[in-house]
Amino acid sequence: MRLPPADLVEPDWFDVFADVGGVQGIVNQRCRTVASREWRRVVPVLEFTAGVGTVDTSTLTDYCICIARIDQCEREISTNGILMLGERGWQKNGATTIVTQYRTQLARYIGELGLSPSARGRLTPPEDNGDDDDDVFD
């Protein structure tokens, strides 16, 4: 099903990653940057290859949030290690569990949005009706 053409509006990442100050504020600032960068990277391509429209905004937003949270978790693991010394000795850093959950969800979004070679093979590109003016690769 072809969706009507639409210019997708990037979410206000402050709604998701609030400006709370302190260390968490710095973490949230990076999350906003990572999510925005990913949105701007994939949306133009998806508008062309998958014909995404405004109805897909929440899926694309969640995809970008996953990317930002994975980045956050990986930075936590890089900073504090996979194992952390806790009250009962060495324990797995909780970020390792969280990043696994986000990566599982990310794999679903990649499949739904056609962001891997195999997923793209299952997509039917939108018809261009002979109009090359909207081609992002021109």
pLDDT in tens, 27-55: 999 999 999 999 999 999 898 888 888 88
- What whole-number distance in Å separates Cα of residue 99 and Cα of residue 120? 25
Least confidently predicted of 18-27, 73-82, 128-137 = 128-137
In one-letter notation, the amino acid at residue 75 is R
* Long-range pairs of 4-7 with CB within 8 A, sequence gap ≥ 24: 4/53, 5/53, 5/134, 6/53, 6/54
Q: In the structure encoding, which two tokens stand for residue 137, read together?
A: 């690769």
Mean pLDDT value of segment 104-109: 97
Q: What per-residue confidence (pLDDT) applies to 2? A: 57
- What whole-number distance in Å separates Cα of residue 109 and Cα of residue 103? 10
Are the C-beta atoms of 3 and 51 separated by less than 8 Å? yes
Q: State the virtual CA torsion across 43, 48, 53, 56 in degrees, nearest 10.
A: -50
- pTM, 2 dp: 0.83
Are the C-beta atoms of 93 and 47 separated by less than 8 Å? no
Q: What per-residue confidence (pLDDT) applies to 117? A: 81
Q: In the structure encoding, which two tokens stand for residue 81, read together?
A: 């290690």
Q: In this predicted model, what pLDDT tens digit does every residue of 58-98 receive, in sequence order?
A: 999 999 999 999 999 999 999 999 999 989 999 999 999 99
The residue among 7, 12, 87, 122 whose CA lies nearest residue 54 is 7
Q: What per-residue confidence (pLDDT) applies to 52? A: 87
Q: What per-residue confidence (pLDDT) applies to 124? A: 63
- Phi, psi (degrees; rounded to nearest 5) at 24: -65, -30
